[in-house]
Amino acid sequence: MMSLTKIRLFYVTKKQYKYKLMAYSGLFWTLAAVQTIAILLSLGGTGGWNMGRGTILFSIKTLSNEIIVLLTFLWAFAVSVILTTKSYRDGDAVFVSNRLSSNLANGAFLITYCLIGGLSAVLGGAVLRLIFFFSTGGLGIVSQNFFLSPTELAAGFAVTTLYLLLISTAGYLCGILVQCSKVFVVILPSLFFGVLILAGRDAGIREMLLQAINFLVHESSFIMLTLKAILITAVVFGIALLISNRTEVRK
């Protein structure tokens, strides 16, 4: 009887995860690039208005890390989709893997880059404030909470990360669906924009859409948000896992 190497799923998943961290480290450079661009775009202020009375005119600019967070969301969605493409899946199959270990390793990788994305987005906001502070000499700033306290930073980090998880998992599922059948390249965007367009026209659909969004966005309890996010992420990822379990590789 041949002596076969016995291997355990956990060990392989761990190895694959570490391999991905090394192999796809370039993705984090793109994150840095994206967020730098976001910061530059935000320098002019992310909102504002002008007011004037008689001979007095003043303009107000508001500053937040909205653009940074938004671009990070887009980045995370794109990365999740990329992970499901042929060359990345084939990359998994070069050494030792099966679909389950690949997906689990992708999941661990996903959590990692969501954490990193969340952290850097929040810190990016802080960087933005610093730049502003030093460039205007601190005189033109009117705000009570310009300097973020550690708790606020932590909260921002946590919330951003949770939203990133949701978006990334959705991206992963979309990617998996597209890999299953090219038809989804048409169906998914059509669905997305279709719902938006319909919501614009039909009040009933708009209501449903707003309710769905508020379910996540206007959740005031942090614990509830965490639970909801984790649950939805797990379910969506589970579906992606089940769907992709019978796909072929290295065709």
Partner 1 sequence: MNAVECRDLIKAYGKLKAVNELSFDLEENKITGLIGRNGAGKTTLLKIIAGFLQKTAGEVKVFAENPFNNLTVSANTVFVDDNMAFPQSLRLGELLDEAAGFYGNWNMGLAKGALDYFSLNPRHYYHQLSKGMKSTFNVVVGLFARCSLTIFDEPTAGMDAGARKDFYRALLKDYLRHPRTIILSSHLLNEIEDILEDILLITEGKKLLHMPVPNLREYALGLRGKSYILEDMANSREIIHISNVGDGYAYLVVKNDITEQERYKARLVGVDITAVTAADLCVYLTSGKKGGIDDVFNKN
Determine, following the binding rule CB under 8 A, whether residue 51 of this chain makes contact with partner 1. Answer: no
Determine, following the binding rule CB under 8 A, whether residue 57 of this chain makes contact with partner 1. Answer: no
The stretch among 11-19, 166-174, 181-189, 216-224 that binds partner 1 (CB under 8 A) is 11-19
Instruction: Determine how β-strand 56-62 pairs with β-strand 47-53.
Output: antiparallel
If the CB atoms of residues 87 and 220 are measured against partner 1, the closer one turns out to be: 87
Q: Please name which of 123, 92, 116, 114 lies closest in space to residue 105, comparing C-alpha atoms.
A: 92
Question: In the set 97, 103, 160, 169, which binds partner 1 (CB under 8 A)?
Answer: 97
Question: In the set 12, 104, 170, 173, which binds partner 1 (CB under 8 A)?
Answer: 12
Question: In the set 25, 50, 149, 221, which binds partner 1 (CB under 8 A)?
Answer: 25
Determine, following the binding rule CB under 8 A, whether residue 98 of this chain makes contact with partner 1. Answer: yes
Question: In the set 32, 85, 95, 141, which binds partner 1 (CB under 8 A)?
Answer: 95
* Beta bridge partners of residue 53, listed in sequence order: 56
Determine, following the binding rule CB under 8 A, whether residue 221 of this chain makes contact with partner 1. Answer: no
* Contacting partner 1 within 169-208 (CB under 8 A): none
The stretch among 54-62, 76-84, 90-98, 212-220 that binds partner 1 (CB under 8 A) is 90-98
Please count the other Cβ atoms lying within 10 Å of the Cβ belonging to residue 118: 23
Cβ neighbours of residue 189 closer than 8 Å, sequence gap 6 or more: none
> 81-88: long-range contacts at Cβ-Cβ below 8 A with a sequence spacing of 24 or more?
81/171, 81/172, 81/174, 81/175, 81/178, 82/175, 83/109, 83/110, 83/172, 83/175, 84/172, 84/175, 84/176, 84/178, 84/179, 84/244, 85/175, 85/179, 86/179
Q: Please name which of 175, 154, 146 lies closest in space to residue 237, comparing C-alpha atoms.
A: 175
C-alpha pair distances (Å), 46 with each of 114, 121, 211: 23, 15, 27
Question: In the set 33, 37, 94, 196, which binds partner 1 (CB under 8 A)?
Answer: 94
Interaction pattern, residues 113-152, with partner 1; x per rule: CB under 8 A: ----------------------------------------
Residues in contact with partner 1 by CB under 8 A are 1-7, 9, 12, 15, 18-19, 22-26, 87, 90-91, 93-101, 245-246, 248-251
